[in-house]
Amino acid sequence: MILHRWLVVGVAALAAGCATPRSVESFAAPEADLPGRTSFVWKGGAFNTPAAMPADVAAAVEPRVRQAVVSEFARKGFVEVTDAAGADMLVSVQVSGTRRFVLSEEPRVGAPSANSVLTASGMPLPPASELPRETTVREGTVVVFVEDPASGRIIWRGLVTSESRVTSREAGIRMVVEMAHQIAREFPQRRAGT
């Protein structure tokens, strides 16, 4: 029984340790009075990656990012409308990313120690043509924009940048959706009575 409890505590601690805290960089126009606004309309999203994003990936990402932002705004007390003429705010998102290759920091399994390789009677060195292991690192940025419909000016912006070594498409999509949730959580709460 005690072992089971420790196992649950260990898994929870591991899960908490895997969640990467990201800081949201935000800007709010001082004259905007964001808590005094009541409604918003979803303007859409832009997805910028070095290579053209496949249509099926864009079709999977956009609605999930939209749902993440809209649900957080609704939780804050704002109402989504379908007509831009009746909205106090226009909300949009931009997702961009890059990919680069870095040398892996993992030691090779079964690699000989330096003491056995660098001695006169030691093992021969690996061939010079052998390339070091590479790891793919993806850096992504999610930006949520809120515009004033009357002036067209940005009245709020939230941004998160994250670097990861996700290996699957689904893991990357989940990471982008979580970043959108995190940004929208930073938007101010609607003022009561407005």
Name the phi and psi angles at 8, rounded to 5.
-65, -45
- pLDDT of res. 170: 85
Q: What's the start-to-end Cα distance of the chain, in Å?
A: 53
pTM of the model: 0.70
Q: Which residues contact 86 (CB under 8 A, 6 or more apart)?
A: 39, 41
102, with CB counted inside 10 A (0-12, 13-18, 19+), is exposed
Tokens, residue 102: 């870095």
In a domain, 18, yes or no: no
- pLDDT of res. 125: 60
User: Contact 156/29 with Cβ under 8 angstroms?
Assistant: yes
Indicate the number of domains in the chain: 1
Tokens, residue 190: 């609607």
In a domain, 12, yes or no: no
Q: Which domain holds residue 185?
A: 23-103+132-194
Q: CATH number of the domain that 65 lies in?
A: 3.30.160.670
In a domain, 70, yes or no: yes
Q: Which residues contact 191 (CB under 8 A, 6 or more apart)?
A: 35, 36
In a domain, 6, yes or no: no
- pLDDT of res. 51: 56
Which amino acid makes up residue 122? G
In a domain, 13, yes or no: no
Q: Which helix (H) or strand (E) holds 147?
A: strand 134-147
The neighbouring-strand residues paired with 111 are none
- pLDDT of res. 183: 95
Q: Which helix (H) or strand (E) holds 79?
A: strand 79-80
- Rounded CA-CA distance 181/187 in Å is 10
Tokens, residue 16: 């908490």
φ/ψ region of 75 (left if φ > 0, alpha if ψ in -120 to 50, else beta) reads: alpha
In a domain, 108, yes or no: no
pLDDT per residue, tens digit, the chain (194 aa), is: 443 443 333 333 333 334 456 789 999 999 999 999 999 999 988 877 655 567 777 778 889 999 999 999 999 999 999 988 889 999 999 988 776 666 655 555 556 666 665 666 665 665 655 665 666 667 888 999 999 999 999 999 999 998 877 777 888 888 889 999 999 999 999 998 76
pLDDT in tens, 126-144: 565 566 566 666 788 899 9
In a domain, 126, yes or no: no
